[in-house]
Amino acid sequence: MSKLLVFNWKMNPATLEEAISLAKASDQENIVIAPPFVFIEEVAKVLKKARLGAQDVFWENPPAGGGAFTGEVSAQELKNLCVEYVIVGHSERRHKLGETDEIVAKKLKAATDTGLVPILCIGETEEEKNAGKREAVLERQLKTALSDLQLTTNNLQPFVAYEPVWAIGTGNPETPESALATIKFIKELLKNFRISDFGFRVSVLYGGSVNSQNLQDYIKYKEVDGALVGGASLQEEEIKKIIKLI
């Protein structure tokens, strides 16, 4: 399987012109681009090779797609805009906006029920890491998120993104060796949860201050199925260097 890179633009860039320029620079196979909601429709028009993603989804998903939920976006609305992938449970939403494991589980179910490929983010804070709770936190997050899924009816190949909270946007990434060990642990958890009974494997990405200088250090391992890239995906020179590595 080829390595997958997910470009999470977060609340960037500021203008549609910049978004289109970034999208064109990133339009390569094995790349998912997740722009802000306001740019999704226009970015979709310029993509020929890359896949379209979204940064979040609401858990209520009425049959018509809409509903009385101010400021939210449903899975069906995203599907109607040709979105294929959706990031669920990003650490910034968990720790800055208060999303609980239970909310993340509802969002994950809404995405999969609609046929969107989920990219489920899990990871520990620095306090949890220092307290030796990393594995317990990851197990809790995974177990809760997967508790209510009905994946047997959808031909989905879901992803988990391991993103240690303390490494995101800090320029202080997890070491490749430690990231590898954690990803192996996550894959063992998935085996224990019998995800393979659904007839597919869950791919696991690494995220957290990934850039062109360190990407190869992570994806060289067969167990690491790709990367979730933040700030580096907003710089066209970085994008060019990253693309050469996949």
Please list the active-site residues: 90, 163
Cβ pair 133, 171 in contact under 8 A = no
The position carrying tokens 């995101």 is 168
Angle (CA) 115 116 121, round 5°? 135
Q: How far is CA 99 from the centre of its chain?
A: 16
Query: Measured on CA atoms in the order 181, 186, 190, 192, is the torsion positive or negative?
Result: positive
The position carrying tokens 């177990």 is 143
Q: How far apart are CA 231 and CA 103, in angstroms?
A: 26
Q: Pick from 143, 224, 242: which is nearest to 178 by CA?
A: 224
Give the list of residues 6+ apart from residue 98 with CB closer than 8 angstroms, or none.
none
Runs of H (alpha helix) within 97-219 = 101-114, 126-130, 134-145, 176-192, 215-219
